[in-house]
Structure 1
Amino acid sequence: MTPSPCLGIARAGRLIAILALSLAAVTAGAQAQTVLREMPEQVDPARHYIFYIHGRIVETEGPEAVSERFGPYDFKGITEGLASRGQTVIAELRAPGGLDYVDTLATHIRRMQDEGVPARNITVVGFSKGGYMALRVARALQDPEVNFAILAGCIAEAISGEDLSGDGLDGRLLSMANSADTLGFPCTPLFARNTHLASPVSVVFHEGSGHGLFYAADPVWMTPLLDWIEAGL
């Protein structure tokens, strides 16, 4: 039986439609996993941006760092997880050393705002030394609408008040820490000293992995973090 030309055209049309849908799905997936290693030349005021500030170990060992105590640091998995709901993640690899990246990041954020990105669409997520640096960025910017998530980044000196880097900060703030951690602590006492803050949130997990909890894109902390970010949009 000879196929009808109309039937062939119909099948071709369906195939084109399927391919178009597949391409759209791939494109949507790519948008949902946008991870950049540097500040883009242009920003989109309609998008939501997350800056991820990695822990100290990545400074010296790179994005595939492995800790003898906590195991592999899943830099790729964490950054892709942060981008999984459609936000653009900017995760720069900073040079080893001091705290110069604080000024760099503050400059990035001011530029974004100058180019039309609303403050509420900007989130800084910092882990360990990166969390401590995020506190300093919040202090430098003094913007109550920029979001800051501090993951095990409040050191003992900042909690006690001996280190005043976190005093006088501003922003929409979230602290996440593990009760088994001996390196980074809940920021609750620091938040209490900053009485001007509007409803800062402190979350404490009870996991045996200690500081290593944030070495992986664990849904235990990743899901509530992303929920908190979306609640402020």
Structure 2
Amino acid sequence: MIKKLFVTALVCTLPVSAVAQLSDVPDAPKVDVKYLIYLHGIGIEKVGVWKANEDYRGIVKAFEKQGFIVISEVRSSDTKPNEYGKKVASQVKALSTRGVPPENITVVGYSKGGLITLWAAAAGDNPKVNYVVLAGCVQKGSEFYSTYASNVAPKMKGRILSMYDAADPDRGTCKDFFAAAGDKVTGKEIKFETGEGHGLFRKPVDQWVNPLAEWANGK
């Protein structure tokens, strides 16, 4: 099932302060809270947190303000999406095995992190886990499209929310991937028309943070 929303909204940033997120799954997670695994974009891989255009610290803080315990680490520049996706799937399984309900687990990825999120959904085994893809779905004509359409999407499972901006020249709708997954995926998609393009998700703004939080809370 795919739902589409077309949204035009004003941009307003959230305040940023110090962040103290987890880098991995805790040995004894709290079973009555929401966990969010965040996967940043490729810019941070290349130049690090302080030089990248993506406001990594601000984004993590925004998720924490929504009530999530955030698990996130800065990846190395040679990270392969398929391999890291398997790592994320193992983190999800570890949380679940240690007592966290699958509906209390959300994986969020921006840009390259969105590609990793797709791999994680394909490697996972629980349809109740939440996933959010931010400007992550490659389009027809991309050198990576056939890989994701043929090898990744048919294996995906879970509740997957896709969000992208209409002005993004490279990343867009996930509808083909949702279709390939069939009834193993409950999909929803939001198309923004802010003019920000791929950069919309580099900062924590209400128009994508709020629907993300709603999705992670089962709404």
**TM-score with structure 1 length normalisation?**
0.77
1:103 aligns with 2:86: yes
What 5-or-longer segments of structure 1 have no aligned partner? 1-32, 67-71
- Identity, % of aligned pairs? 32
Among 167, 185, 206, which residue is 2:172 paired with?
185
RCO comparison, higher one (Cα < 8 Å, 6+): 2
Q: Which runs of 4+ in 1 moved over 3 A?
A: 157-161
Determine the C-alpha separation between the residues in 2 that align with 1:38 and 1:193.
Answer: 31
How many residue pairs were aligned? 195
Determine the C-alpha separation between the residues in 1 that align with 2:46 and 2:26.
Answer: 24
Among 152, 157, 167, which residue is 2:154 paired with?
167
CA contact under 8 A between 1:175 and 1:202: conserved in structure 2? yes
**In proportion to residue count, which structure has more helix?**
1
Letter in 1 for 2:187: P
CA contact under 8 A between 2:85 and 2:118: conserved in structure 1? no
Superposition map of 1:1-233 within 5 A: 35-66=21-52, 72-97=53-78, 98-99=80-81, 100-157=83-140, 162-163=146-147, 164=150, 165-232=152-219
What 5-or-longer segments of structure 2 have no aligned partner? 1-18
In our comparison, the structure showing a higher alpha carbon Rg is: 1
**TM-score with structure 2 length normalisation?**
0.82
Determine the C-alpha separation between the residues in 1 that align with 2:191 and 2:56.
Answer: 22
User: How large is the RMSD of aligned CA atoms in angstroms?
Assistant: 2.0
CA contact under 8 A between 2:130 and 2:215: conserved in structure 1? no
Per the TM alignment, residue 37 of structure 1 is displaced from its structure 2 partner at its CA by 3.0
